[in-house]
Amino acid sequence: MSMEARVGAKCGRWNPTVEQVKVLTDLFSSGLRTPTTDQIQMISTHLSAFGKIESKNVFYWFQNHKARERHHKKRRRGPPDDVDGDGAGDGDHHKPRTRCFPAGRAKDKQEVFWQRPEIKETTETLELFPLKSSISEEEKVIAVRGELCGRTLYLDATGRDHPPLDLRLSFNYVE
């Protein structure tokens, strides 16, 4: 007698039957990741044929399965050009609580900065960036650091081994 999805006992939480898991897994492997409300309800309805189940169980199942698939299949070498915008590619890094977005509204009318002959008072700002004006071919690496983010990105455009350039961008972080 399997202890499967249970009859009358303590049902603190949903305990899927093997059939239910099988179907969910197949759906997942067929590409379904984030089912819509309707899909969830249908899946739930039909899985109820195998045992007690609620829509939310289906929802959670997909959430968890998707998330865990990711974290479990981690670490595979190679050039992980994870240009993924949200950086969610690899569960490791995610913005703490600070956002990295400046607010450069550069173009109102003709105020596009590069068309403007004048130089704004960027004095203070520039001081924040100890830029090197002369960089050799061997130094084509740029380290961008979001100060408040506390992390440093070493962007090696050449893919070779070079010392960082130390270009620091002062992202405007928002609390």
**Stretch 63-82 residues interacting with a second copy (CB under 8 A):** 63, 66, 69-70, 73, 78-82
Q: Show the site string, 72-111: x = touches DNA by CB under 7 A, - = not.
A: -xx------xx--xxxxx-xx-xxxxxxxxxxxxxx----
Yes or no: say if 61 and 16 are a contact pair by the CB < 8 Å rule: yes
* 106 to 38, 99, 114, 116: CA distances (angstroms): 44, 20, 9, 11
Question: Binds 13, which of DNA, a second copy, none (CB < 5 to 8 A, cut-off by type)?
Answer: DNA
Site for DNA in 6-65 (CB under 7 A): 10-16, 21, 31, 33-34, 56-57, 60-61, 63-65
10 or 120: CB nearest a second copy: 120
**Interface with a second copy, residue 15, by CB under 8 A:** no
**Interface with DNA, residue 70, by CB under 7 A:** yes
CB of 8 to a second copy, least distance (A): 19
127, burial (CB in 10 Å: exposed 0-12, middle 13-18, buried 19+): exposed
Residue type at position 75 = R
Question: Half-sphere exposure (CA, 13 Å, Cβ side) for 160?
Answer: 6
The CA distance from 67 to 33, in Å, is 10
Question: Half-sphere exposure (CA, 13 Å, Cβ side) for 102?
Answer: 8
Query: Which of 93, 109, 150, 175 lies at the binding interface for a second copy (CB under 8 A)?
Result: 93
User: Could you list the residues that contact DNA (CB under 7 A)?
Assistant: 3, 10-16, 21, 31, 33-34, 56-57, 60-61, 63-71, 73-74, 81-82, 85-89, 91-92, 94-107
